[in-house]
Amino acid sequence: MAHASDGRSMEFKLPDLGEGLTEAEIVRWLVEVGDVVAVDQPVVEVETAKAMVEVPCPYGGVVTARFGEEGTELPVGAPLVTVAVGATAADGPARASGTGAGSGTGTGEAPAAGPPAAEKKPEGSGNVLVGYGTSEAPARRRRVRPERRVATGASGRANGRVRDAGQPAGPAVRTAEPVDGPVPVISPLVRRLARQHDLDLRELAGSGPDGLILRADVEYALRAAAAQGGRTAGREAGTGGVPVAATAAGAATSSDGTRVPLKGVRGAVADKLSRSRREIPDATCWVDADATELMRARTAMNASGGPKISLVALLARICTAALARFPELNSTVDTEAREIVRLDGVHLGFAAQTDRGLVVPVVRDAHARDAESLTAEFARLTEAGRAGRLTPGELTGGTFTLNNYGVFGVDGSTPIINHPEAAMLGVGRIVPKPWVHEGELAVRQVVQLSLTFDHRVCDGGTAGGFLRYVADCVEQPAVLLRTL
């Protein structure tokens, strides 16, 4: 998504990253204003509701403006950067001196006139998703630093603060003259705060890099105006009397507690779980099982050489065998058509807790994999989840979920189904407990298994049969040999 604002400057907008995502949060900028970038070079790392993605720009040249601070949430289609196409280090300052709309990093001067757009075609592949760019190696980035203005006149602002005429001017202070072009503000929260309090941002000079207007600058101006009998700081009904600090991005503290925005992964999880609770009439059944023989079987497998087999891989193999016997649970409900759609393949999701929150990576075609293949895929997806490298495709399309909450040291749970799936198997911790084995009391390795299912796709008999089969395989792994 790129837009030619003139014959030489290209505006690159946040592309559609797929899977119906409508917004993304800027995590880290990979370029600065003045950097020389190559075609398809990543310019920013963003976090969607499903993954962190590096976004490449389809144009080569000098970056003249960036839109959004780190932590800012942008909708799909919003500008990310502008690039002076074809610019080099020699003419970079002339090209990079334009006003950075929303970034405030330019000097406010128009770029020099150049050849018509028809004579100079922008270089670009048109590809905007990671993995779809050209194979050309990125050029070495060079920094072109825009010139800075020095304040003149009887009054101005230092570090975004109102300066009286009698105060000495600090070094390299920008003028407070009204801005004719775009206001150097990139945070939507700063704009909203100013709008709620009827504050003209064109009258402020920011304390941020290259004159960027920050939230602190707006708050200071509001306090100064209130002290001088000017504008009333809380006149807009939208603030509801909440202190200015309570409108900040991220966690905001007020007298009633701390507010944390539901966005990113946390917001996506909240939306999905809420939808599941609204639409799915779920029920849960559970059973205790003696996992001693399963643990012994795993020990024997790992002692025979070759890759180590994980416990979750064995449980996944049991799940796929159980779903072959009870396919009703590998389905979804089409509410518009009022139909149950039974799915042919098993794409097994597994709940994984990461620093970014709960994610559910999906093992494709789990029914066609053996224990070794499942172990390797679980390990790969888990590592990608912890590193934040899971792609949207690896986080969607599941048909059944395995939830090993035993890693948290708990025995049981009644989890919420991962919409639009129809069931989830929960596995508690495996601990030594007294158990009657072959007519005698013994200490055995016991686990609690639970099945949460959509009551629209089956009745309790099917759910109970599925769970009983899983428990039988846990207690006597040789049962699996009948269907292997």
The residue type at 242: V
Q: Does residue 361 have a cis peptide bond before it, meaning omega lies within 30 degrees of 0?
A: no
Would you say 406 and 450 are in contact if contact means Cβ atoms under 8 Å apart?
no
Place of tokens 């518009």: 336
Residue 431 exposed, middle or buried by CB count within 10 Å (0-12, 13-18, 19+): middle
Number of residues written out for the chain: 484
Q: Which residue is catalytic, options 200, 271, 370, 455?
A: 455
Q: Is 40 a catalytic residue?
A: no
3-class DSSP assignment, residue 220:
helix
Q: How far apart are CA 345 and CA 342, in angstroms?
A: 9
**For residue 356, what are its two tokens?**
């970014």
Q: How far apart are CA 163 and CA 308, in angstroms?
A: 69
Q: How far apart are CA 363 and CA 378, in angstroms?
A: 7
Would you say 382 and 419 are in contact if contact means Cβ atoms under 8 Å apart?
no
Of 263, 248, 193, the closest CA to residue 22 belongs to 263
Q: Which residue is catalytic, options 35, 217, 459, 472?
A: 459
Give the rounded distance of the alpha carbon of 290 from its chain centre: 40
Q: Is 455 a catalytic residue?
A: yes
3-class DSSP assignment, residue 239:
helix
Place of tokens 């960027």: 212
> What amino acid positions are annotated as catalytic residues?
455, 459
